[in-house]
Amino acid sequence: MATADGNLTYLYYNVDEDTTGGSEAYGISEDGSTIIGFHFDAQWRTNACVWTENGTVRTDLPWPTQEQMGFPVEYVSARWVSSNGNVILGYAQDDNTGAWVAVTWSKVNGEWVVNPFCSNYYQPKYYSEEGELIIPGNNPYFDFEPVALSANGDWVSLNVLARHDPSDWDNIPLNQAARYNISTNTFQVVNFNEDYTELRMFGIADNGTAVGRLTGEMDFETWDQPVDAVVWASNGTSLHRINEMYADYKVGLYQSFPN
């Protein structure tokens, strides 16, 4: 963190005699007063936290519980923060499958409150000691990866994966774009039925408009593969390519060559 005089300072981190670890910072509020990230111990167990008062005060963010997430939480990280520093997006993770499952924190009456909003949609899964995949419920999405938080802290952009049998590698559906409104507790998944190989969402605006990248099907004769920017309008129910919205935009082609 750079202080007002331009000098680099260290964020607060306490280490006891028997513990080694470190910390990483990922986001900062518009006025620089709030920094978010995580600290970790010698076993790399992470804990999401906030630094304030010029980095000299560290506040650990509350953990979502196993009952809230559906799996034993081993790691928690904060990755995005709103402009005013009052909303944080991050994820909880377990050691068994390694899935990044989105959570948010909001400041309420000066205290941080965790919101594991994924619990109605994300389907936890785990492997038994014998290596058997256990799927204990019927929620619709097996991946629930956070990818962006709007500057005003109202919207979260996500990549999700529709329910399937994760052990069936011949029948895995593709990623889908999703967004969540924190204020209204509204979750939406985009409608997109064209053939593609990958869809990744990235940024999201204050009104909920989300942007990302769509990778089309490979032409195995020319080895050309279309790669398009896509937009999900705030009031829309489907994705649109940039070239559909702007007539002078030319579709990009990514060319690969077989070994």
Q: Which residue has the higher pLDDT, 143 or 62?
A: 62
pLDDT band at 165 (very low <50, low <70, confident <90, very high): confident
The pLDDT assigned to 202 comes to 93
115: three-class secondary structure by DSSP: strand
The pLDDT assigned to 170 comes to 73
Asked if 24 and 38 count as a contact pair (C-beta separation under 8 A), the reply is yes
Distance CA 247, CA 259 (A): 36
22-46, pLDDT tens digit by residue?
Answer: 889 999 999 999 999 999 888 888 9
pTM: 0.86
**Half-sphere exposure (Cβ direction) of 228: Cα atoms closer than 13 Å:** 19
On the 0-12 / 13-18 / 19+ scale of CB atoms within 10 A, 156 is buried
The pLDDT assigned to 252 comes to 46
Q: What size, in residues, is the chain?
A: 259
> What whole-number percentage of the chain has pLDDT above 90?
48
Q: Work out the mean pLDDT of the chain and round it to a whole number.
A: 85
Q: What is the mean pLDDT of residues 182-187?
A: 95
Nearest to 206 by CA among 183, 189, 226: 183
pLDDT band at 121 (very low <50, low <70, confident <90, very high): very high
The pLDDT assigned to 113 comes to 97
The pLDDT assigned to 7 comes to 61
Distance CA 41, CA 19 (A): 7
Structure tokens of 53?
Answer: 């008062």
57: three-class secondary structure by DSSP: strand
Structure tokens of 36?
Answer: 């978010």
b/e map 227-244, b = 16+ CB within 10 Å: ebbbbbeeeeeebebbee
